[in-house]
Structure 1
Amino acid sequence: MAKDFTVPPVVFPSGGNPTTGGANIAQRRVPTAPFQPPRPSNSSIPFMSFDMGSAAATAPSGSIYGVPVGGGSSANFDDEEPLLDELGIHPDQIWKKIRSILNPFRVNHFVHKDSDLSGPILLYMSFGLSQLLAGKIQFGVILGWIVVSSIFVYVVFNMLAGRSGNLDLHTCTSVVGYCMLPIVILSALSLFLPHSGIVRFSIAAVFVLWATRSSTGLIVSLVDGGDEHRGLITYACFLIYTLFSLLVIF
């Protein structure tokens, strides 16, 4: 037997929209803005927020999105290290090492334990500039000879010392470079010396012996077992600085 159900009629208004009054308004969802990420609760800076009004309201006066503008940001650079220190260049240490070479009879090897290449590069550039004033463009020759000379001293010493040799290439390059100071001074003095004669050769020999004594004393003091082979190390250093003096004489 069929049952009859009472169904209330559905009435649509003339505009085609459902009625906005009564219980229907409670069933509608409030539309939300698209692409609205959640905001962190502990931050006052809106991240990727489209609400520009709230961002301007939360930022204090004299700031943009919570970042201070003007002289307040300069306080962050007070704790920064100097640029030269960040690059590993210490002018005070370079000056101490150069000053220790000025006395060939009493070289302070303690300041050369921390080897660097900033001072040698400065001396190489000074040597090249003084040669340039003499009409000789020899920057490439100087750089190439320095590399070969450092490797030469490194190989000679470690072959002599054997397994007990502890001279590394970085320290060897630093010592050879800093001991170029007498040759740099010779190159500067050669601008005022006669171009030929016994005087030029005699002064060059003095500066070569100066550089040889300084480099030999540093190498023997910085490594173990250098006293046993001091004569051969002196001979190798003498050949190196004699070669550089020839650039100045001729």
Structure 2
Amino acid sequence: MRDDVALSFDGADPYRRGGEYERLGWDPHPCLFMSFDLGDVSASAPPRMSSMGYSGGGFGAFEDEPPLLEELGISIPQITGRTLTVLNPFQINPDPHEDADLSGPIIFYMLFGLCQLIGGKVHFGVILGWTTLASIYLYIVFNLLAGKNGSLDFYRCVSLVGYCQIFMVLLSAFSIFLPRLLSPRCAVQGVLKYVLGSLTVLWCTRSCTSLLDVLVPHAEEHRSLVAYPCGLIYIAFSLLVIF
């Protein structure tokens, strides 16, 4: 054992002398890179999570956020009001339909496709495709009839055709329970389907035409001609239910 190395029980370092470290080629401060200067810990602490959101930072309280449906532009009271006005084709209130929207039509298309699916028919793509073509067809026909006075836009066409689709949804829902009410071999069942389908087409056509008359300028002059494309649109949808 070297003479300059001695056991020390008082906590002293036997190699504290700098000359001895330099002679041996050791660094007298080997752990300088491990500097744990934390500073003010309370200043860099993350914001505490409260029951309604972050108490600090860029996030506000959840109670200040608007509802999700409002952010998406979906108003259930407006959709309900527009639907109720369409249910009576003889007394149309045009005020709820001044602003067109797609929320209600999408709901009715999904319900229509769901009723068809329950009946064993997968028509979601057909319904969406026919709706797009029907709206384009109504848009072109009306603006050609109105000429320079044509002011019907495609967005309103989709909205009107979709809201008047509520009767097709009811017909499709009724057709699910019709085989259970009557025997499948009963001749009355086939006749009843055609009768209900015809009444539904007339109901949808009347509602859509009445809304066009009161919402679009110069539509009343071409009421009979506008009813023709509307009738063709809903005849196509009724065929999905009947067959």
TM-score (norm 2): 0.76
- How far does the alpha carbon of each residue in 1:183-239 deviate from its partner, in whole angstroms, 9 at most, with x for none? 110111112235643222111111111100100011111111001000011111011
Q: Report the 3-state secondary structure (helix = DSSP H, G, I; strand = E; otherwise coil) of the residue aligned with 1:119.
A: helix
Q: Taking structure 1 as reference, are residues 51 and 85 closer, same or farther at Cα in structure 2, changes over 3 Å only? A: farther
Distance 2:129 2:87 in 1: 25
Structure 1 position 70 matched with structure 2 position 50: yes
Matched residue, 1:85: 70
CA distance in 1, matches of 2:160, 2:114: 21
Question: How far is 1:51 from its partner?
Answer: 5.8
Letter in 2 for 1:69: M
Which amino acid in the other structure matches residue 114 of structure 1? D
Shift of 1:154: 0.4
Partner of 1:230: 223
Tell me the secondary structure at the aligned position of residue 64 of structure 2.
Answer: coil
The percentage of aligned residue pairs carrying the same residue is 50
Residues 52 and 62, structure 2, Cα contact 8 Å, conserved in 1: no
**Which aligned pairs between 1:108-119 and structure 2 lie closer than 5 A?**
108-119=93-104
Structure 2: unaligned runs, 5 residues or longer: 1-18, 20-35, 55-59
Matched residue type, 2:175? S
Q: Deviations 1:146-183 (Å, cap 9, x if unpaired)?
A: 00000000001111111111111001100000100011
- 1:166 match: secondary structure: coil
Q: 1:70 to 1:136 in 2, by over 3 A?
A: same
1:209 partnered with 2:202: yes
- In the alignment, the residues of structure 1 paired with residue 74 and residue 37 of structure 2 have an alpha-carbon distance, to the nearest angstrom, of 49
What is the rounded CA distance, in whole Å, between the counterparts of 2:38 and 2:140 in structure 1?
69
Distance 1:88 1:72 in 2: 24
Deviates more, 1:139-148 or 1:67-76: 67-76
Of 125, 129, 132, the residue aligned with 2:117 is 132
**Alpha-carbon distance in structure 2 between the residues aligned to 1:205 and 1:230:** 20
One-letter identity of the residue aligned with 1:248 = V
- Matched residue, 1:147: 132
1:20-59 residue CA offsets vs partner (Å, 9 max, x unmatched): xxxxxxxxxxxxxxxxxxxxxxxxxxxxxx96322x2436
RMSD: 2.0
Deviations 1:71-122 (A, max 9, x none): 3636722221101111111111111111111111112211011111111111
Cα 1:89–1:52 shift into 2, 3 Å: farther
Q: State the alpha-carbon separation in 2 of the partners of residues 71 and 248 from structure 1.
A: 51
Counterparts of 1:1-250 in structure 2 under 5 Å?
52-54=38-40, 56-58=41-43, 64-65=45-46, 67-71=47-51, 73=53, 76-193=61-178, 196-250=189-243
| Paired residue total | 197
- Equivalent-residue separation in structure 1 for 2:139 and 2:122 (angstroms): 28
**TM-score of the pair, normalised by structure 1:** 0.74
- Measure, in 2, the Cα distance between the counterparts of 1:198 and 1:219: 32
- More divergent stretch after superposition (166-175 vs 198-207): 198-207
Instruction: Please list every run of 5 or more consecutive structure 1 residues that lacks an aligned counterpart in the other structure.
Output: 1-14, 16-49
Bigger Cα Rg: 1
User: Residue 77 of structure 2: SS of its match in structure 1?
Assistant: helix
SS of match in other structure, 1:193: helix
Q: Does structure 1 conserve the Cα–Cα contact (< 8 Å) formed by 2:116 and 2:172?
A: yes
Amino acid at match of 2:90: F
Letter in 2 for 1:212: T
Answer whether contact 2:52 2:63 (CA < 8 A) is retained.
Answer: no
